[in-house]
Every structure is written in structure tokens, then in C-alpha cells.
Amino acid sequence: MRKFGLIGKKLGHSFSKKYFAEKFTRESIADAVYELYELPEVQELPKLLLQEPELVGLNVTVPYKEQVMPLLDELDEAAARIGAVNTIRISQGRTKGYNTDFVGFKQSLETFYPELERGQALVLGTGGAAKAVWAALDALQIPYLRVSRNVAEGQLSYSQLTPEMVQKYNLIINTTPLGMYPQVQEAPELPYSSITARHYCYDLVYNPSQTLFLQKCAAKGAQTLNGLPMLHLQAEAAWSIWNYEY
């Protein structure tokens, strides 16, 4: 029996096990199981691999997408360039890191954000998921501004976002876990009064399906999308890597 799974700190929010269980049933894949592995710290990964020798593939979620990289034997070129890993292939005792968040986000954004409407983007958050989003925006030639709690070069803090700036950027992407179950009453600090019907608001969070961020944006007439299409696309890309290493 081949084992696949997800590592992270807290996995109560994850849909991955359900997604893969349904995939295995639907596609009559009888030799595979998918499990959740909560690790108190990412340094527990080598011990997990020893304890579970049947593991051939792992997904990685917050907060380990960047922290896991030094623990791997090899990095795919794109993952190294992005600076974050969300998929690990395990073969003959060696681990190789990939980034399928990039694939999932790019493909889902191309469908959600029409080319004729494309302007500039605000990317909320600067963690591992944000790095994949930046790479996808670069690939699509969509200019963007990074927003974080802290000011840095090429990066604004939330307190610096003015209503005029929010009006200027018609794509807003939340890459933070704000609003994720069970903290569903949280949302990024934005001047939501400046959101209009010409805005496209994308939240990488998919549980709940309509975060407070998306609710506030939808109330202003914005187009909204949660992270579920991205999850499905990145999961299929991960499955291809584990089985075919495209």
C-alpha cells in the first residue's frame, strides 16, 4: 500500500484527506491511502519518514512551506526559485521538493480574472503561499504590491493602505490564514469601503468557503473566489509529480 499525506502544524482545517479519498474511490485507485500528519515542528519530518516507510508523497501546509526546504535532499528548480515547497516526492529514500501552489493559483486565476480586466494586484501576506502567488503574477505579467504587517523594501504595511490605493488595484489576493476556521471572524485590515464592482478578490483560504474578507468584498459588488479551485488544481499537479514526475 502506497502512503501519501499532509504535514503541517494544525490540520483540522484541511480538506486534503477528503479530496484524495474521493479521488481514490472515483478513479478506482486501490493501492493508495492519504493521511494527515500534524508535526509540532518541521524538524520532526525525518522521524516521520522513518516511522512511515511506505510514504511516497507528502503535501506541506502552513507554517512549514519555507521551513521544510533545508530538510530535503533536492529541490525542483521552480520551487527553489519561488522559495517555498508544498509537495514532496519520496523515492528510494530521497526527498525532492516541488511547488504546485504556483500551478494551482496561476491556472485558477487565469479563469477567474479576465485578461481584458487585468490591472494591478495587492497581495496580502508574505509567507510561503505568497511566494507562489508572486511567481504566478510575474508569469502572467500582472504588476503587484506586497502588503504585510511590517514595512520593508517594496512592501507596505496594512496601515499604509489608503482608500485611493485600494481603488487603484482591482485584484486583491489574501494569502494569509486570517479568517480560516475556527477564527472565522478575522479578516485583513483594509479600507473595504473602497471595494467596488470592478474588483476581483481572491482568498486562498477555502474553509470556510466564504471568509469574512470575501463577504466584505462581495457586499461591495466585487467578484470573489476562494482557494478550493486552487486546492484541486495543485492536488492534481502533486499527484502527477508523485506518479509521473512531469
User: Which residues are identified as catalytic?
Assistant: 65
How far is it, in rounded angstroms, from Cα 150 to Cα 103?
Answer: 28
How far is it, in rounded angstroms, from Cα 240 to Cα 57?
Answer: 11
Beta bridge partners of 2: 32
Beta bridge partners of 202: 173, 225
How far is it, in rounded angstroms, from Cα 229 to Cα 42?
Answer: 27
Cβ of 239: how many Cβ atoms within 10 Å?
19
The pair phi, psi for residue 156, each rounded to 5°, is -100, 160
For residue 74, give the nearest of 54, 88, 60 by alpha carbon.
Answer: 88
Cβ of 142: how many Cβ atoms within 10 Å?
15
How far is it, in rounded angstroms, from Cα 201 to Cα 174?
Answer: 8
